[in-house]
Structure 1
Amino acid sequence: MANATGFRARMNDRNTKELYLEGQHIILQDLKMREDIRQEQQVQKYLSKNITAYPTPVEFPITECTHVTHKMGLQGIWDSEGFKGLNKDKFSWWSLKINEADIRAAEERFLESSFPGRSEGEIAAQQPFLSEFTTSPAFINETSRYGNFRFTFPLAELMEAYKKQMCEDEEPVLRVYETKSFKQEIEYVVLVHRPPKFDEDLSKYPLLTSSPLVSYEGNQIIWRAQAICETHNYQLEIHGKTAVTQNMPSHEYYVWDHVTLAFHVNEGEVLTFPKTRLKASLSCCAIDPINLAKGYVYSDLNEARRFLESLTDTV
């Protein structure tokens, strides 16, 4: 079973330094205490801060996934009619797509767990508050660091396609792959692969049931988010059994966390979808000021939309 003794450093495919620990999802408080993380000054600059009260942890039930790419990546997906496993790991990378309904559901879960036994009056008096805090890149769908083109699929559809095409109709296996730490970002990677009889070398990673932060239940990912703001502009105050937001005197930068899904797709294989389905799943997004895309990107969204139209016209 994968269980490295400590975080190790490497340069990723975007030529960015990352610290990684295989086979574990390390919660934020434990990360703060690890000596191998404390030695990384750039990471500690943000991680070591004591931030004014905010909602944490918050449990998000998520039913959609997203894959963002640039012009060249989109062209490759379009030509192959699906998603390949890239680079030496042979992974197709997906993020969780969190919408307003997910945030409302998470807010209600947070209130129910924080204030059990609320009266009808207390429930009626509670004003929406969580959207003031869900400001990290994990919750922003209008922009991306990875390109202009966003594929969005229901998790159930993505898993069903993987089950039929890669697993001979057996259930995919989900495992704890690694924790990755960057300067201001904590990433928890979930590995999705075919049953062990097909991919025995991946069985060294613990099953996802061992993760304290991520679970897979009934065609949805349950993510127990710990750092949802990145930039903190508000603080959380509790008045009786009511949660209230207050403006902070000045904003505070902190780390943010998120979950990615790594679907294992062997060399020469493609997780395919009809072009009509690919077309329906596509949308355009603006490039974030932090641009990590390794490929051509558009600064003008209208140009991105025109390129998208040039592809969909060939359906």
Structure 2
Amino acid sequence: MSQPPINLREDTWPGCKPGKYFQRGRFLKIDEIKVDLEAKRKSKNVRDQTLSLIMLRNINAMAEDPLMQFMRRSPAKLTVSRLQHVTGLDGFQGITNDGGFKGKAKNISATDSEIWQCFSWWSIVVSQETITSIRENWRHRIPAATLNQFPNSPVFDSESRYGNFTFSFPVEDLLRAYSEQHCSGETPVFRVLGTWTYQQEIAHTILVHSAEYNHVFSDFPDISADPTEAIYRVEDGTFMCNLESTCSKIDGTSCVWNNPIFAFYLPGFSQESQLKLDFSRTTLTACSATQDNYMQTRGARMPVSEANKYIQSYFEEERNANY
């Protein structure tokens, strides 16, 4: 299947902050995003002129930085071994009460029309061992002062923008559960959902769905084995990521950064449409929430000690219920 043309569409929904764009069915590189945003700056659409300005400024801030120049030639390559879903108190209580994850609606139209579908959203987990390994591989290729800036984007941060409660699982466990519950035991289908761009974040998103819904997503390309793609899948089924940027700031100046995302298709809102998982002390943990927290709901940000109390209470209730 040939790739769709580059056409970043403004992504809006009730309560959404301006400055977000969506490219359907493609993983865009930073230079491709820059070209499209520059065209928007020159267009007669005043809104596009305004919305593209901040991200263009953040992209241009990277142009002369040695680390960013190096990474554009040699992206940070990561193996996807674990995925996480982070939420605030309301989300935590909803998930633990239901024993699983519901889909959240997103507009995936390529045009100004609306095509809403429901997905459960998961980001990658990067271990400290992986960070150390990359640093070691790069140690003799770039100056130490430059290397010290790697990494500082939210992908590598132990704090979260989404709340204090982290649900994390090995990717094979998540895929096995999804296969058994939503694919009749068959292997899920993996496609390129697209690229969301924000003022700094570039979210490359993998779509995971049952073959039952091939007719719904047939115009989205299958995930590639091309090792130059932002996310690709090798012969043994392992997912790999190429990150062109791992920094949200360079010498105090804001820039753009890559965020690999997995979107599990969960149509509808019934119990049957959820992704059910078993929680343990290793798959449900507390984390610090950043000051720029995205979740404007009850308990979106609290001390880690308080979040741990909620988690402790949940496991105690589960233990008592099983006696």
The TM-score bracket by the shorter chain reads 0.7 to 0.9
1:270 counterpart = 2:274: yes
Deviations 1:23-77 (A, max 9, x none): 1111112222224454411211111231311141111112010100111111111
| 3-state SS of paired residue (1:304) | helix
Distance in 2 (CA, whole Å) between partners of 1:224 and 1:189 is 13
Q: Which residue of 2 aligns with 1:206?
A: 221
The 1:198/1:77 distance shift into structure 2, 3 A limit, reads same
User: For residue 154 of structure 2, what is the aligned residue in structure 1?
Assistant: 137
CA contact 1:37–1:43 (8 Å) conserved in 2: no
Does 1 or 2 have the higher relative contact order (CA < 8 Å, sep 6+)? 1
CA distance in 2, matches of 1:107, 1:138: 16
- 2-structure distance, mates of 1:166, 1:253: 41
Aligned length: 283
Contact 1:133 1:232 in 2 (8 A): no
In structure 2, the partner of 1:120 is: none
Question: Structure 1 vs Structure 2: percent identity of aligned residues?
Answer: 25
Distance 1:215 1:109, change over 3 A: farther
Cα-Cα RMSD: 2.6
Aligned: 1:42 with 2:44: no
In structure 1, the partner of 2:113 is none
2:149/2:250 contact within 8 Å kept: no
Query: Which segment is superposed worse, 209-218 or 260-269?
Result: 209-218
After superposition, the Cα gap between the structure-2 partners of 1:147 and 1:37, relative to the gap in structure 1 and judged at 3 Å, is farther
Within a 5 Å distance, the mapping from 1:18-97 to structure 2 comes to 18-34=20-36, 35-36=38-39, 38=41, 39=49, 40-49=52-61, 50-54=63-67, 55-56=70-71, 57-87=75-105, 88-97=116-125
Query: Secondary structure of the residue that 1:286 maps to in structure 2?
Result: coil
**In structure 1, what is the Cα distance between the partners aligned to 2:230 and 2:14?**
26
Q: Which residue of 2 aligns with 1:149?
A: 165
- What are the superposed Cα offsets for residues 214-236 of structure 1, whole Å, 9 maximum, x if unpaired? 11234532110001111124xxx
Distance 1:99 1:131 in 2: 17
Unaligned runs of 5+ in 1: 116-125, 234-250
Matching residue of 1:216? 233
TM-score, with structure 2 as normaliser: 0.79
CA contact (8 A) 1:155 1:220 kept: no
Aligned residue identity for 1:29:
D
Structure 1 residue 280: deviation in Å? 3.5
Contact 2:83 2:124 in 1 (8 A): yes
What SS class does the counterpart of residue 29 from structure 1 fall into? helix
Relative to the length of structure 1, the TM-score reads: 0.81
Give CA deviations for 1:193-219 in whole Å, capped at 9, x if unaligned.
111x44421121011106721112345
Q: 1:13 to 1:165 in 2, by over 3 A?
A: farther
User: 1:103 Cα deviation (Å)?
Assistant: 2.1
The structure with the greater share of residues assigned to strand is: 1
CA distance in structure 1 between the partners assigned to 2:137 and 2:25 by the alignment: 28
Partner Cα distance (1:165, 1:36) in 2: 45
Tell me the amino acid that sits aligned with residue 284 of structure 2: L
The runs of 5 or more residues in structure 2 that have no matched partner are: 42-48, 106-115, 319-323
Question: 2:314 — aligned with what?
Answer: 311
Structure 1 counterpart of 2:301, from 278, 295, 298? 298
Q: What is the one-letter code of the residue matched to 1:309?
A: Q
